[in-house]
Chain A
Amino acid sequence: MSRTLMKGNEALARAAIRGGCTHFFGYPITPQNEIPEYFARELPKAGGLFLQAESEIAAVNMLYGSAAAGAQAMTSSSSPGLALMQEGISMLAATEIPCVIVNVMRGGPGLGTIQPAQSDYFQMTRGGGNGDYRILSLAPATVQESAEMMEESFALAQKYRTPVFLVSDGLLGQMMEPVQFDRHTKKKRAGNKRWILTGHHHRRPPRTIKSLRLDPAKLESHNLELQDKYGRISRRETRFELYRMNDAELVFCAFGSTARIVKNSIDDLRQKGCRAGLIRPQTLWPFPVQPFKTLPESGKAVICVEMNCGQMVDDVRLAVEGRMPVHFYGRCGGVIPEPAELSEYALELLTGGAA
């Protein structure tokens, strides 16, 4: 099968159309502009609709309306844009509207930078919008994996009637790599469509999509139903990759493009006689707790590496539950860590130097 050299962002857009995306709404922001630009060119040809919104607030609400009317809709943005969408995302979660939201992360807080970062781990896993809700967050590490996860995300959104996050970053979105698309797409027919707004045609009572429940008992039971669903998603969709973990004494944890850099330092460390391995969460929520519960006997310490000031490390600590020390190494503001600095940090740590 042939491979195409593609930018991460364009691969995402192409994969989305293959995955069944019919409607795209978005507002320009770097470093994700190639995504809406691709949709503007290609989605109408595929029979779909691209519409540029006046803001991310409008975009997420257009997405809400479109998906409520039965479209397989998506939007994409980058960190500050995602912050603006949070009210709408809370609404999408409350009303259980299937849709996909891409975040090509950049550095923050505030306008921060347009350079790559992973500063939105909290935004992608802790809500940001109000209320008790969870969003399935897929975190690819290569352009190939971006395409595969993107293509599958629409089926996942439909399966659980939930918004899905695809968490990329400026590095992954802008880099070019060969991608291979399967001959067959992962497009799936949607299941139960009885919630979609179609007009009642005088054949059934009017249907309402809503989040407001002023009766505490009703809101509590709705919340508990949502929690049940999040439990199902946790049990079935938690994903992670293990790299050289069998005999690891030093266990790295990293996601997305950072994980690739970490793999390089692991290979380097192994050549220097230090047995290092990696747990790479492929879903940020649900966070893969299980590999931390079954760390190899050889394990001495965990190092969480992120392109931020320490966000995922909270989840790592919760998963490790004090069984061994958890250290954090981060670069931020658009600075990308070098494999050599990670190796150096790890070696110092083993010899008792690093804090």
Chain B
Amino acid sequence: MSVIFKKTTGLTEAATHYCPGCTHGIAHRLVGEALEELGLLGDTIGCASVGCSIFSYNYFNVDMIECSHGRAPAVATGIKRTVPDKTVFTYQGDGDLAAIGTAEIVHAAHRGENITVIFINNAIYGMTGGQMAPTTLPGQKATTAPAGRIAEFSGRPLKMSEMLAEVPGAAYVERVSLHHPKYIRKAKKAILKGFTCQLAKGGFAMVELLSTCPTGWGLDPVEAMEWLEANMIPYYPLGVLKTPEEV
């Protein structure tokens, strides 16, 4: 019998605490598989951020450090500048990366830090219970936007990938989605490229993963996938926003 699927050694045996239908689990698997396939598990240091993924340090089979809310790119900078041979990544939510940590992500890109950023955009603050994020869509309900986001009042959602692609130091920026197996395969390729970019000393690489938060959105897992496809992809178009020639 041939094995067609097995659990990646990039993840530990710990059961995750994510809600049913949450795509954090899929994102973890893809990152774990990518590090395993590239033979990097023993040489990687990951930076966990504040959000539902804070416990990612229990799940990734690599050395990890917990970072204060939004500061993971600065912590990753300190690590990479100290041990440049190690593979260093951050795993950040949209509240973490696009709100409180905006300065840190922009300047990590600006300096062309040779790190890989895994950016989980689920258009909401998951961990704290579904508050509005800078990425929450116009009209989308959140506990702090009970009538839905009003663009005239709170602004239109930030497109972090488009923004960071404009930063000269950014080498590779791609947006992918986790709502469907076909897209998940593409997401895996993007994550692999995010790490190979670092191996080639290409500079700052970020992969934005459009993700679901069924709990925060008040939808069941299938509805959440559908909502992502119908609402997020039109506002956050998928694709490569910046790529280095050689990768």
Contact = CB atoms under 8 A, between A and B. Distances in A.
Interface of A: 23, 25, 49, 51, 53-55, 57-59, 61-71, 73, 87-88, 91, 95, 197-203, 206-212
Contacts of B58: 208
Given A62-B77, A65-B79, A199 B71 contact: no
Q: Per DSSP, are chain A's interface residues mostly helix, strand or loop, or mixed?
A: mixed
A211 B53 CA distance: 15
A57 B104 CA distance: 9
Q: Per DSSP, are chain B's interface residues mostly helix, strand or loop, or mixed?
A: helix
Interface residues of B, number: 37
Given A58-B104, A197-B63, A201-B42, A65 B68 contact: no
Interface of B: 12, 41-45, 47-48, 54, 57-58, 60-68, 71, 74-83, 86, 103-104, 106-107, 110
Nearest to A199: B43
B62 A61 contact: no
B56 to A, nearest CB: 10
A67 B83 CA distance: 11
A99 to B, nearest CB: 10
Given A68-B79, A200-B42, A62 B74 contact: yes
Given A23-B82, A53-B74, A62-B74, A210 B66 contact: yes
Nearest to A207: B63
A206 B78 contact: no
Nearest to A71: B82
Contacts of B57: 206, 208, 210
Contact of A54 (B48, B60, B63, B107): B107
A54 B78 contact: no
B171 to A, nearest CB: 19
A222 B73 CA distance: 27
A61 B65 CA distance: 11
A12 to B, nearest CB: 21
Nearest to A52: B111
Given A57-B103, A61-B74, A210-B57, A70 B83 contact: yes
A198 B63 contact: yes
Q: Name which of A23, A62, A63 has the most chain B CB atoms within 10 A of its CB.
A: A62
Contacts of A66: 78-79, 81-82
A200 B71 contact: no
A88 B71 contact: yes
A87 B68 contact: yes
Contact of A91 (B61, B68, B78, B79): B68
Nearest to B60: A206
A199 B81 contact: no
Contacts of A70: 82-83
A57 B71 contact: yes
A61 B75 contact: yes
Contacts of A61: 67-68, 71, 74-75, 78, 104
Given A201-B42, A209-B65, A65 B54 contact: no
B81 A62 contact: yes
A71 to B, nearest CB: 5
B64 A206 contact: yes
